[in-house]
Amino acid sequence: MAAVLLVAGCGGEAEPDAPSTTTSAPTTTVATTTEPTTTTQPTTTTEAPTTTLAPTTTVAERLETVTLPGAGDTVRRYVLYVPASVRAVPALVVDLHGFTSSSAEQDLLSGMRDLAAIEGFVVAQPQGRGGLLAFWDSGPGSDDVSFLRDVIADAVDRSGADPDRVYVTGMSNGGGMADRMACDASDVVTAVGTVAGAYSYPAPCDPERPVPIVAFHGTADPTVPYDGGLLFSPVTEWAAAWAVRNGCADPAGSRVTDEVTAVTWAECGEGVQVVFYTVEGGAHGWPGTLDPERADKSTGSIVASDIIWETLSIYER
């Protein structure tokens, strides 16, 4: 079995798992029509080509828990959200929680469903394995890559999302899993955004094509240290390695706010970019989160979810 990267405290305390079925075929188990809201505004500093979005269409808002067969006799699940004002051919964002967290807790952290309600994309928030100690196996050869491939295929089929606009995001261990999807599943993943990522680096990584990357990390992160440590290499080395894989030109730095800087590798293969945001003094958190229990762990001067969407949504596979 592939190496498993576990990081304590990646997402906070887990919420109890929702009930699941034991059927071998995909099934829908929950639905609701609650209207999401948001108070954040998109913010970004990267320059990239724009794309024309498909018109929106009004549908019944959907929030459903879907079960899928896992390895052996296991059953896996994910939450699918389709906003009422969804694009005619929407993008799909796969949003991954951290270690000991849950798909529900990840949405509180990232606010991705609220953003989807504004921008008209579809969200899939899968649940890791392990119950209360839920985690992602982000090492090379991971079975979770197969599971997330199944999630993407099922979500595209259920929602009508564009299979060429699939963006994977994640927090901590979920960020490491998003990175693994960029390495091992670039045939179905268009681009990746990570926050406080716990990366299996250095590790084998051979994507089929250049993959756009945007990442955020705090210099005071005690869980996944910015400068590396016993379990991790410096996160700046991880970002630079992606620039090399993508065939990028030399980087350019910029100051975004008083406490946030960005390094951008542009002129990469196939027109992609690698953008790395440093939060000076930031801990193990999601910049701009509206979750009051975690707002003090990172800056509120930028909103990571908005920047991830604006940076990655221009790309098609």
pLDDT digits (tens, 9 = 90+) for 137-162: 998 888 999 999 999 999 999 999 99
The answer on pLDDT for 52 being more than 60 is no
Domain contains 27: no
Q: List the domain range (segments joined by +) for residue 244.
A: 62-313
> Considering the domain boundaries, does residue 52 fall inside one?
no
Least trusted range by pLDDT, from 59-63, 110-114, 188-192? 59-63
Task: Kindly state the tokens that stand for 122.
Answer: 């579809």
The predicted structure's pLDDT at residue 202: 87
Q: How confident is the model over 50-64, as a mean pLDDT?
A: 72
When pLDDT is cut at 50, 70 and 90, the band that residue 7 belongs to is: very low
pTM for this structure? 0.84
Name the most confidently modeled range: 43-52, 257-266, 293-302: 257-266
**Predicted local confidence at residue 39, as pLDDT:** 37
Domain of residue 303, CATH code: 3.40.50.1820
Can you tell me which residue has the tokens 């500093």?
45
What integer is the mean pLDDT of 253-271? 98
Average pLDDT over residues 34-47: 40
With respect to residue 74, please indicate whether it lies within any of the assigned structural domains: yes
Name beta bridge partners: 193.
169, 214
Asked if the structure places residue 80 within a domain, the reply is yes
- Amino acid identity, position 215: A
Q: Residue 32: which pLDDT band, with cuts at 50, 70 and 90? A: very low
Contacts 24+ apart (CB under 8 A), 142-149: 142/2, 142/177, 142/180, 142/184, 143/1, 143/2, 143/71, 144/177, 144/180, 145/180, 145/181, 145/184, 145/185, 146/71, 147/68, 147/70, 147/71, 147/76, 148/94, 148/177, 148/181, 148/185, 149/185, 149/188
Q: Would you say residue 299 lies in a domain?
A: yes
Q: Is residue 101 part of a domain?
A: yes
Let me know how many helices (H) and strands (E) the chain has, helices first. Answer: 6, 13
Strand-pairing partners, residue 272, are none
Q: How far is CA 197 from CA 3, 116, 138, 185, 222, in A?
A: 16, 22, 11, 18, 12
Whether 118 and 145 have beta carbons less than 8 Å apart is answered as no
The residues near 257 (Cβ < 8 Å, ≥ 6 apart) are 299, 301, 302
Residue 37 lies in a domain: no
The pLDDT confidence band at residue 23, using thresholds 50, 70 and 90, is very low
Average pLDDT over residues 83-101: 97
Residue-level pLDDT at 42: 40
Count how many domains the chain has.
1
- The C-alpha atoms of residue 148 and residue 143 are separated, in whole angstroms, by 9
Residue 101 has pLDDT above 90, yes or no: yes
Does the pLDDT of residue 124 top 90, yes or no? yes
Judged against a pLDDT cut of 60, whether residue 24 lies above it is answered with no
Q: Decide if 288 is inside a domain.
A: yes
Average pLDDT across the chain, whole number: 87
